Structure 1
Amino acid sequence: MNREEFLKVFDNNKIFFLDGATGTNLMKEGLPAGACTEEWILEHTDVIKKLQKSYVDAGSDIIYAPTFTGNRIKLDNFGLSDRKREINTELVKLAKESAGSNAYVAGDVTMTGRQLKPMGDLDFEELITVYKEQIQILEEAGCDLIVVETMMSLQECRAALIAAKEVSDIAVMVTLTFEQDGRTLFGTDAKTAAIVMESLGACAVGANCSTGPDKMADIIADMASVTNIPIIAKPNAGLPVVNEDGTTSYDMPCEIFAGEMEKLIRSGATIIGGCCGTDADYIKALHDKYLEYDVSKGLVYPNGEVLTRKNEDMRFLTSERMTVAFLLDDPFMIVGERINPTGKKKLQAELREGKLDMVCDFVSKQEEDGASILDVNVGMSGIDECSMMSDILDEILPLTSLPLCIDTSDEKTMEMALRKYPGRALINSISLEKDKAERFLPIAKKYGAMFILLPVGPKGLPDSLEEKHLFIRQLSDKAYEMGLKRTDIIVDGLVATIGANKNAALETLETIKYCKDNGFATICGLSNISFGLPQRAFVNTAFLTMAIANGLTMAICNPSQELLVNSAFASDLLRNKEEADLRYIERMSRYDGMNVQVSCVPKGQKLVAAYSGSTLGTTKEAENDKKSNSSERCKESSSSGNGNAADESSVEFMMSKIKTDVMKGSKRTIEKDTLDAIEKGCDPKSLLNDVLMLAINEVGDLFDKGKYFLPQLIASAETMKMSIAKLEPLLNEGENGNDNKETIVIATVHGDIHDIGKNLVALMLKNHGFNVIDLGKDVPSEKIVDTAISENAAIIALSALMTTTMQEMKTVVKLAKEKNCKAKIVIGGAVVTEDYAWEIGADGYSSDAANCVRIVKNILAIE
């Protein structure tokens, strides 16, 4: 079935039922840890048919074909990639035999186990190809729909949806798994995930695994509040517990599970089922309880607040980690314009050299100054625009959570950027000239992007206000024909120069009002209005406040222009827009402790804002103290041997620069900056202890507070590693860290091929000076323990991502005791809990990489 057919069958007016767990039930029937599940099923077809038939008999409307790890990459771990067609086809056949005419069969797709670049070695296009292969096989084998499940990366979800679009029109459901903080491992919140999945064409979205139904309601409610497609809830049967016989079970009986599921239904879920620990009894309990459930009872958040489904007038732009949502009467927003080489000779020179320092600076500065969206334009001569846009996206995506506006007239560059961008972007722009609408509107539809409608006709600029409005109607009609909606469009007011057309401002203001009256969001570039006039800032600011009064939604401008931006915030305040008072007060807090005077000046002089006092938020005394204290740390030179003290200003600057490199994950600059710091006289040991260690600890704190996410944590850790590699030859061997620090053996347990968390833990531990022996993934318990004994390791660190493999941790603990291994054992991973650690006799539990460093230091009593 396609998406439209799915939505007709699985509407939001009643409850529908999925199946329960597969892996945990197969383990009860003898599936060994570490085996290829798909191969084992084909050798025990009676087991899977019995299980799936029990789900159909219990009331499942959809059962999942057991193709969970049937992609080429995962099968290749078992030497079975050449059998992917045979394996997937046979598994679908088994599911269809079990379903008969009583249930639909969903082809099951999940992660590959390899990480995308830049965190891993997997190219995004290769991942799309891998998913294309499996999805095409699944559809040809007779699946009714596809389910992409247990996903931790929004970008991997996007790859699967894009793959499905390019080989089929089959309906695709998507469920992600979320951490305790309500975000995926990569930092995506539930609202953002739902918005991006719906915009890309998913027929249903939701959450599965990771938690019981009692802790999933907030996630489901957040998804329901921003989308109108069906919401899926497929939680575990509570938390895993270790039984006396060493097996793992779950602590929530089916009666309690069924009762708790009402919270998820009241939060918006209409397609429900069970994940780890559930079986046919759980599904029957759900079916019996909710088959005739009255969904008209209304939705509520877990705290009791009334919940409504997506407001059809709401617009959404997202990055991978946040959403910008806005209605027409919401506060004004700034689209930062600085990442644009036009008129910036220094930026042009850097881009031609392949340097992105200025771009990165523009990102952080514009976000700091209040931009809500960042425009990215690299169009200039002398570079490959598509390649440069790709490089810039790689560089800036870890640096900011703000959504991006992709600004290019090159079709190839636009498609590459939207394909790669892990969120819902804004296209700048689409017009009626040169078949641009015919070329770019399909791209917007395919990748779920919003776009700026530029009212320029086939022959160029409109000759009149009436023609401008005609172009708006014609282009929006073309968008509707493509399946786009009014809420996908932001109309450019097309600002002309008032020096050439005295009615330019009035015509633009009339267009803004016309658009708002017809339900369109609006945007404009401000600077053109004042071209050729003196003291342009006054004209731009006056025009902006008038435009806001007429309904302007956002403007492309430089957010560091204080007069302009502050006037915009003041305009919202005076118009009593929601929370405008709080936004204004927060904006003005940047001037605390400063005496700000803005004055008019004679013709020919620049308008200046005179600030007396100090830099924002910092006193001169504090700056001087900081300079004095920090420069003391790096005075002694060990590289030159001449004993000359380093220049204090250079030392302070380089220390600050290296810390910034680590905080921002600037792998492009860290090696050069480290060598420059040594050349200027910084002591390598001081750089390591007083800059790098402090910076990575600060990154860890930000990660713990939910202000940094996994991509940023990894980028910072890898940046620090690169700096340490340059420092190591200069450090005294006895003080290097690895000679005096304890040895740690780390591994992903037998049967588990997921290693992103383990790799990050290993990297963080190495950066803190430990001697880390990384045994890799899918490591036998004997090898882990024997290595720890032979290497006299102080710590064994174990990782597991799946409930079907986490019991191997208990095997390692037991084996270590039997062999009298002295190493303490620390465990962690997405499915692992602190209670589980104590139940199996581990010595510590870590929730994440930064926390693991602290746990290890505590166990070893290291300061």
Structure 2
Amino acid sequence: MTRQEFLNLIKDKKLMFLDGATGTNLMKEGLPAGACTEEWILNNPDVIRKLQKSYVDSGSDIIYAPTFTGNRIKLINFGLEDKIKEINTRLVKLGKESAGNNALVAGDITMTGRQLKPMGDLEFEELIDVYKEQIEILVEAGCDILVVETMMSLQECRAALIAAKEVSDIAVIVTLTFEGDGRTLFGTDAKTAAIVMESLGAAAVGANCGTGPDNMVSIIADMASVTNIPIIAKPNAGLPVVTEDGSTEYDMDCDTFVAEMEKLLKAGASIIGGCCGTTPAYIKGIHDKYKDYDIATDILQYGDGTVFSRKTEGVRFLTSERKTVAFSLDDPFMIVGERINPTGKKKLQAELREGKLDMVCDFVSQQEEDGASILDVNVGMSGIDEKQMMSDVLDEIIPLTSLPLCIDTSDENTMEMALRKYPGRALINSISLEKDKAERFLPLAKKYGAMFIALPVGPKGLPGSLKEKHEFIDTLCQKAYEAGLSKEDIVVDGLVATIGANPDAALETLSTISYCKENGLATICGLSNISFGLPQRAFINAAFLTMAIANGLTMAICNPSQELLVNSAFASDLLRHKEEADLRYIERMNRYDGMNVQVVSVPKGQKLITDGSAGKISNGVDGSASKDNTSKPANSLDEPADLVTEFYNKIKNDVMKGSKRSIEKDTLDAVAAGCAPKTILNDYLMPAINEVGDLFDKGKYFLPQLIASAEAMKLSIAKLEPLLNENDTEGAKDKDTIVIATVHGDIHDIGKNLVALMLKNHGFNVIDLGKDVPSEKIVDTAIAEDAKIICLSALMTTTMQEMKNVVKISKEKNCKAKILIGGAVVTEDYAWEIGADGYSSDAANCVVVVKNIIKNI
């Protein structure tokens, strides 16, 4: 079934029902923890037939073939990778037998358990190939659609969708799992996830697992507010709890679950089912109650009753992995930061040739701080491999910024590589009519869900007249529509010429901007050309920008640190009464000390003038500053800088930014300059990583940044350790020991690895036993190593029960180590129910909990 066929089907049905849980129901039928689920099912086919037949009889329109962990990477853990085709084919066949002609069968795909670079060792292209292999088998086996579910990484969702596109035209639906803060483990919010999935061609998007229906409402509503495709809701039956007999159940009964699902329908869901803890009875309950439900198509509701509409025409979206920038033609003006471009920057060119990216990283943070909404990335220059350099730059800056990127290259291969690996919705800079560029680049925009800048340059070059320029724009737009793109995917370049050569250049560009605005097209321009060859160019640029904004300019590529230019833009929005322009203007002006009103005494007959610097008041006569109102800055340039403090702060900044490229050198330079290793560790590295942890807890930093900072700190400590041990030979022996492991049957280890790294950085002796570790081995190791604490991780409901087994064995063997548990499916209540000594919600919190436990031992 193709995407369009699936969309037509749900349009006719209006509401579709999925199945319920598979794993938790199979466990009740004897599936042992740690077993390969696919293999066990094939050895017990009647169990899955009975379960899936019950779902179909209960009203499921779609059932999931039990191929959830049927990819090569997962099967390698059980030595079954050579049977991948047999396993997936037989499991789809079982699903088809259960469904008959009464339901569709979805080939089920999920995360592999290995992490993508830079957090893991898995290359993006390797992951795509892994998904391709399984998808080809599933399609050949006869599944009707594909479902990519229980995803925590937006980039892995993208890999699965790209893989599906490249081997089939089958419809793909996608659901992600969100944490309590409304973001995935990797920091992606629901709106961003939905936008990226729709732009890449998903037939439906939504959420599954992680929570009950009551706590999923805002996620579903956020997705519905930014997309036009169907929204999926497949929540758990509440939260897991341990019953008196020791088994794990979920705390939301069938009647409550059914009643709560109405909130998800009101929030925009039109494909509903159940995840962990739900049974055929739950599916029958929602089917019987809502099969004739009148689905709202216009006005929807958040859980608090707030009303909203589905995605409205004219709204555009660009995203990174962690943030969405939404804009329409009447929204405030936006800046596309231009500085990551070696043209005319000899120092940057030299660094790129050396493979250094320090300036690039500085430009990222500086432009974001100065108010850029989007960052243009261009590395085109002689003497380098542009494709490889673009790849390296993306790897470096994607974790650094939440701003969407504008990929700026004329090389087709470089562009495809960048769009392929960028974990968001990018802007292409640019596509024109020259040298068949439209025919080569428009399919890339469509395939990877990107927006693009339409540059009105024809086959023979620049347009000869204003009329021809507009004809080029119309032709480019028509080609885009034919490629499957929409008006909202296009940003037209006004093509600024210099008034030194053409006195009408500004007027022609303003006319083009107005023309595009009248035709519902967003616009962009590069400003610097307008004043080329003229004196005091900043004034011309600023005046031209305000005129362009008045004519409808959407965004401009410029340097956001150019104060006159940017401040003029903010003031223009304010004068045009654009939404929240007053707040934006005031916020920006607050960066100037001169905006702080000061009460001063002015001599009679003299005029009070502020010069824009803190406390400086001109007497209006000779322009000199009043001595009574000026003070010398503490770090004035004419005072010698404290080089030692400068080195200390540089290392702290490296940790805050996760600067793995520079922290080793900075650490060694600091030591050579006289910085004490112990002071570096205790007074700079430790506070920095603690601050990173606080920012993570507050939702200002996300998992990629947390990992990058922890890895950077690890590199610094590796340089300091030999020096620290020289002066403190006993200190290393006195480190408290912690044993950490992912429990038996669970092969997910990203959370565990990060916890281990953070604990090591905080000075603990960490023994990492890896993943899928037998309970006996965990306890025996803790006893042998006289560990203070055992840290356990589990990511799946089918394996979290092994935590209770570790607690049981620990007590039986009189192990003195305290037991701390955590993981995506684990709750604090569950920790107390199984007799654990503590619970941690994330890696940063784990350090705090561990220290508190050890303090009280």
Measured against aligned partners, the alpha-carbon deviations of 1:358-417 in whole angstroms (never above 9, x if no partner) come to 000000000000000000000000000000000000000111000000000000000000
Counterpart check, 1:712 vs 2:712: no
Cα 1:375–1:735 change in 2 (3 A) is farther
Letter in 2 for 1:813: V
Q: Tell me what 2:322 maps to.
A: 321
User: SS state of the match for residue 25, structure 2?
Assistant: helix
How far apart are residue 469 of structure 1 and its match?
A: 0.3
Cα 1:788–1:516 change in 2 (3 A) is same
Q: Does the aligned pair in 1 maintain the 2:92–2:107 contact within 8 Å? A: yes
Q: Tell me what 1:58 maps to.
A: 58
* 1-structure distance, mates of 2:500, 2:695: 50
Letter in 1 for 2:590: S
Alignment of 1:654-803 (within 5 A): 654-732=647-725, 734=728, 738-803=732-797
Q: Tell me what 1:301 maps to.
A: 302
Measured against aligned partners, the alpha-carbon deviations of 1:289-323 in whole angstroms (never above 9, x if no partner) come to 00000113841111211121111210000000000
Letter in 1 for 2:740: I
Greater CA deviation, 777-786 or 587-596? 587-596
Q: Does the aligned pair in 2 maintain the 1:67–1:109 contact within 8 Å? A: yes
Q: Tell me what 1:80 maps to.
A: 80
How far apart are residue 740 of structure 1 and its match?
A: 2.2
How far apart are residue 814 of structure 1 and its match?
A: 1.1
Alignment of 1:12-27 (within 5 A): 14-27=14-27
* 1-structure distance, mates of 2:205, 2:437: 33
Letter in 2 for 1:581: D
* 1-structure distance, mates of 2:633, 2:287: 65
Q: Tell me what 1:288 maps to.
A: 288
* 2-structure distance, mates of 1:648, 1:456: 52
* 2-structure distance, mates of 1:13, 1:311: 23
How far apart are residue 203 of structure 1 and its match?
A: 0.1
Q: Does the aligned pair in 1 maintain the 2:594–2:613 contact within 8 Å? A: no
* 2-structure distance, mates of 1:568, 1:735: 61
How far apart are residue 653 of structure 1 and its match?
A: 1.4
How far apart are residue 11 of structure 1 and its match?
A: 2.4
* Among 832, 836, 846, the residue aligned to 1:842: 836
Q: Tell me what 1:155 maps to.
A: 155
* 2-structure distance, mates of 1:595, 1:54: 70
* 2-structure distance, mates of 1:779, 1:246: 21
Alignment of 1:527-538 (within 5 A): 527-538=528-539
Q: Tell me what 2:222 maps to.
A: 222
Q: Does the aligned pair in 2 maintain the 1:433–1:457 contact within 8 Å? A: yes
Cα 1:50–1:431 change in 2 (3 A) is same
Counterpart check, 1:816 vs 2:793: no
Counterpart check, 1:236 vs 2:230: no
How far apart are residue 623 of structure 1 and its match?
A: 5.0
Q: Does the aligned pair in 2 maintain the 1:737–1:769 contact within 8 Å? A: no
How far apart are residue 244 of structure 1 and its match?
A: 1.8
Q: Tell me what 1:201 maps to.
A: 201
Cα 1:648–1:690 change in 2 (3 A) is farther
Q: Does the aligned pair in 2 maintain the 1:242–1:840 contact within 8 Å? A: yes
Q: Does the aligned pair in 1 maintain the 2:266–2:296 contact within 8 Å? A: no
Cα 1:303–1:79 change in 2 (3 A) is same
* 1-structure distance, mates of 2:851, 2:532: 62
Measured against aligned partners, the alpha-carbon deviations of 1:449-484 in whole angstroms (never above 9, x if no partner) come to 000000000000000000000000001000000000
- With normalisation by structure 1, the TM-score equals 0.94
Counterpart check, 1:186 vs 2:179: no
Q: Does the aligned pair in 2 maintain the 1:11–1:230 contact within 8 Å? A: no
Cα 1:691–1:376 change in 2 (3 A) is same
* 2-structure distance, mates of 1:572, 1:64: 51
User: SS state of the match for residue 105, structure 1?
Assistant: strand
How far apart are residue 741 of structure 1 and its match?
A: 2.6
Q: Tell me what 1:114 maps to.
A: 114
Q: Tell me what 1:804 maps to.
A: 798
Measured against aligned partners, the alpha-carbon deviations of 1:216-253 in whole angstroms (never above 9, x if no partner) come to 00000000000010000000000101112221010111
Q: Does the aligned pair in 1 maintain the 2:635–2:641 contact within 8 Å? A: no
User: SS state of the match for residue 328, structure 1?
Assistant: coil
Q: Tell me what 1:497 maps to.
A: 498
* 2-structure distance, mates of 1:739, 1:158: 46
Alignment of 1:593-604 (within 5 A): none
Q: Does the aligned pair in 2 maintain the 1:237–1:257 contact within 8 Å? A: yes
Greater CA deviation, 161-170 or 656-665? 656-665
* 1-structure distance, mates of 2:614, 2:653: 27
Measured against aligned partners, the alpha-carbon deviations of 1:243-264 in whole angstroms (never above 9, x if no partner) come to 1222101011111000000011
Cα 1:613–1:763 change in 2 (3 A) is farther
Q: Tell me what 2:343 maps to.
A: 342
User: SS state of the match for residue 851, structure 1?
Assistant: helix
Letter in 2 for 1:201: G
* 2-structure distance, mates of 1:509, 1:424: 28
* 2-structure distance, mates of 1:805, 1:246: 14
Q: Does the aligned pair in 2 maintain the 1:754–1:801 contact within 8 Å? A: yes
CA RMSD of aligned residues (A): 1.8
How far apart are residue 14 of structure 1 and its match?
A: 2.3
Counterpart check, 1:253 vs 2:253: yes
Q: Tell me what 1:639 maps to.
A: none
* 2-structure distance, mates of 1:369, 1:415: 30
Q: Tell me what 1:487 maps to.
A: 488
Cα 1:696–1:736 change in 2 (3 A) is farther
Q: Does the aligned pair in 1 maintain the 2:109–2:149 contact within 8 Å? A: yes
* 1-structure distance, mates of 2:756, 2:510: 58
* 1-structure distance, mates of 2:613, 2:661: 35
* 2-structure distance, mates of 1:613, 1:758: 52
Measured against aligned partners, the alpha-carbon deviations of 1:145-191 in whole angstroms (never above 9, x if no partner) come to 00000000000000000000000000000000000000000000000
How far apart are residue 660 of structure 1 and its match?
A: 1.1
User: SS state of the match for residue 500, structure 1?
Assistant: coil
Counterpart check, 1:129 vs 2:129: yes
Q: Does the aligned pair in 2 maintain the 1:595–1:611 contact within 8 Å? A: no
* 1-structure distance, mates of 2:699, 2:12: 33
Letter in 1 for 2:146: I
* 1-structure distance, mates of 2:131, 2:501: 55
* 2-structure distance, mates of 1:610, 1:648: 26
Q: Tell me what 2:381 maps to.
A: 380
Q: Tell me what 1:829 maps to.
A: 823
Unmatched segments (≥5 aa) in structure 2: 598-610, 617-629
User: SS state of the match for residue 855, structure 2?
Assistant: coil
* 2-structure distance, mates of 1:690, 1:735: 21
Q: Tell me what 1:47 maps to.
A: 47
Q: Tell me what 2:478 maps to.
A: 477
* 2-structure distance, mates of 1:851, 1:433: 55
User: SS state of the match for residue 462, structure 2?
Assistant: coil
Unmatched segments (≥5 aa) in structure 1: 597-608, 629-646
* 1-structure distance, mates of 2:642, 2:439: 57
The aligned length equals 829
- With normalisation by structure 2, the TM-score equals 0.95
Q: Does the aligned pair in 1 maintain the 2:523–2:554 contact within 8 Å? A: yes
Letter in 2 for 1:500: A
Q: Tell me what 1:599 maps to.
A: none
User: SS state of the match for residue 852, structure 1?
Assistant: helix
User: SS state of the match for residue 590, structure 1?
Assistant: coil
Letter in 2 for 1:814: K
* 2-structure distance, mates of 1:736, 1:117: 37
Letter in 2 for 1:653: E
Q: Tell me what 1:332 maps to.
A: 333
Measured against aligned partners, the alpha-carbon deviations of 1:718-748 in whole angstroms (never above 9, x if no partner) come to 1000000000000145378543231000000
* 2-structure distance, mates of 1:189, 1:775: 33
User: SS state of the match for residue 430, structure 2?
Assistant: strand
